[in-house]
Amino acid sequence: MRKMNITLCVAVIVLSLFGLLMIYSSSYVWADYKFDDAFKYVKNQGMFLIVGIVFMYLVSKINFEKYYSYANKIFIICFILLVLVLIFGTERNGSKSWFGIGSFGIQPSEFMKLAMVIFTSKYLYNNRKDIGNIRKGVIPILGLTLGVFALIMLQPDFGTGLILVMGVIGLLFVGGVNMKFFIKVGLLGVGGIIALIAAAPYRLKRILSFLNPWEDPLGSGFQIIQSLYAIGPGGLFGFGLGGSRQKHFYLPEPQTDFIFSIISEEFGFMGVLIVASLFITIIVCVVKIALKCENLFGKYLAFGIVFELGFQALLNLMVVVGLIPVTGVTLPFLSYGGSSLLITLVSIGVILNVSRHQR
């Protein structure tokens, strides 16, 4: 047993605290307007952060090999929760993704992201000899993943579903699945998209609308325009903490998906570089931990978690800066969202434990 990875730990805590600060800065205008309480969001998130850090510490003490034995149970519980949320969940912003408990909410799909990584890691470990065989090794786990994806899409929550699938695919790649398979899947996907567009050409227009948001400034382009109006004027150094204009009702719910816009506005390009460096630090740290891990299951766990984390961050950032269409994904550590922060910190706890079993 070794000590846990301090760099990772510090980067995560710094990023989360910065996120808390930015949640306050970006949300107080809306919070004051909606709830008459400027601190409404930051108080909620602060509680989750404290709980999350405690959990991260506790989880880092739990030997990760235990998840191997509980993988199926965890997966089944999360699967049931995903089914139940469709029945008993409360609807927010058109998605039935939440179990509402008072003013808090629990999002089962967030838990499923971790459960899926644990389950897939175990699967890959168990089937490591069959992984070269597509039909026997890959199709079953991919089928299951798509099933979970379909379940999440019933809410619907495309963003979370996509991250989950990407995480599994990443893991399959790490697990040694033939490259040709991914190329075939990729081609199939492209073919499918072309078929969908051919069936209804308006889809292409909708997909490409993000390239020129000014075509529909009050409709599909609205959020991205507001985001660009925040990022652009930020310039090199930004307006300084609290100086954002766009959070004054221009950008809807700036503390969630578009918190990065406000960071760019208040801290400019320098702030963006620092946030990006922290993310890259975390990712590089985890990848190093994974590569050094002697235990194949632990290696898969770390990779799976970092893939999901990395994809989620990139998906969010690419939406915010207008590189891809709006998908509705939050930025890990920074965006407002209790369950998301909690599960992210727990995931980091898992990785911290893995880091203690390095060569």
Partner 1 sequence: MKIVLVIIIFLFILVIGKVFYIQVIDYDKLNDLASNLWSRNLPVKADRGLIYDRDGAVLADNITTTSLVLIPNQIKNKKETTSKLAEILGVSYDEMYKHVNKRTSIERVHPEGRRLSYEVADKIRQLELDGVYLVKESQRYYPFDTYMSHTLGYVGIDNQGLSGLELMYDKYLTGKDGAIKYFSDAKGNKLKLTEVYEKPQNGMNLTLTINKDIQASIERELDNAVTKYNPDRVIALAMDPNSGEVLGISARPNFSPNNYQKYTTEEINRNLPIWATYEPGSTFKIITLAAALEEGKVDLEKDTYNDSGSIRVENATLHCWKHGGHGHETFLEVVENSCNPGFVILGQKLGKAKLFDYIKKFGFGSKTGIDLNGESTGILFPIDKVGPVELATTAFGQGVSVTPIQQVTAVSAAINGGILYKPYIVKSINEPETNTVIKQTKKTVVRKVISEKTSEKVRYALESVVSNGTGRTAYIDGYRVGGKTGTAQKVQDGHYLVNNYILSFIGFLPADDPQIVVYFAIDNPKGVQQFGGVIAGPPAKAILSDAIKALNIKKPSGGMEKEYQYTDKKYKTVPDVSGKSKKEATEALKDFEVVFEGSGDKVTYQSPEAGARIYEGETVRVFTS
* Other CB atoms within 10 Å distance of the CB of residue 84: 12
Least Å distance, CB 34 to partner 1, is 13
* Other CB atoms within 10 Å distance of the CB of residue 345: 24
What does the alpha-carbon distance between residue 206 and residue 322 come to, in Å, rounded to a whole number?
A: 14
Q: Which is nearer to partner 1, 153 or 274 (CB)?
A: 274
Q: Which is nearer to partner 1, 89 or 175 (CB)?
A: 175
Least Å distance, CB 224 to partner 1, is 11
- The answer to whether 27 and 256 have CB atoms below 8 angstroms apart is no
What does the alpha-carbon distance between residue 239 and residue 201 come to, in Å, rounded to a whole number?
A: 42
What does the alpha-carbon distance between residue 192 and residue 337 come to, in Å, rounded to a whole number?
A: 33
Q: Which is nearer to partner 1, 9 or 283 (CB)?
A: 283
* Cβ contacts of 303 within 8 Å, gap of 6 or more: 170, 171, 174, 287, 290
Q: Which is nearer to partner 1, 124 or 151 (CB)?
A: 124
Of 354, 314, 287, 304, nearest in space to 145 by CA: 304
- Torsional sign, CA 291, 297, 298, 302: positive
What does the alpha-carbon distance between residue 244 and residue 23 come to, in Å, rounded to a whole number?
A: 12
User: For residue 15, with 0-12 CB atoms within 10 Å meaning exposed, 13-18 middle and 19 or more buried, which class applies?
Assistant: buried
Least Å distance, CB 168 to partner 1, is 13
Q: Which is nearer to partner 1, 138 or 230 (CB)?
A: 230
Least Å distance, CB 236 to partner 1, is 7
Least Å distance, CB 249 to partner 1, is 4
* Other CB atoms within 10 Å distance of the CB of residue 51: 14
Helix (H) or strand (E) holding 105: strand 104-106
What does the alpha-carbon distance between residue 100 and residue 199 come to, in Å, rounded to a whole number?
A: 39
Give the CA count within 13 Å in the CB-facing half-sphere of 211. Answer: 5
Q: Which is nearer to partner 1, 23 or 172 (CB)?
A: 172
Least Å distance, CB 268 to partner 1, is 7
Q: Which is nearer to partner 1, 183 or 280 (CB)?
A: 280
Site for partner 1, rule CB under 8 A: 29, 170, 173-174, 228-236, 245-246, 248-250, 264, 268-269, 272-273, 276, 279-280, 283-284, 287, 291, 307, 310, 314, 317-318, 321-323
Q: Which is nearer to partner 1, 98 or 300 (CB)?
A: 300
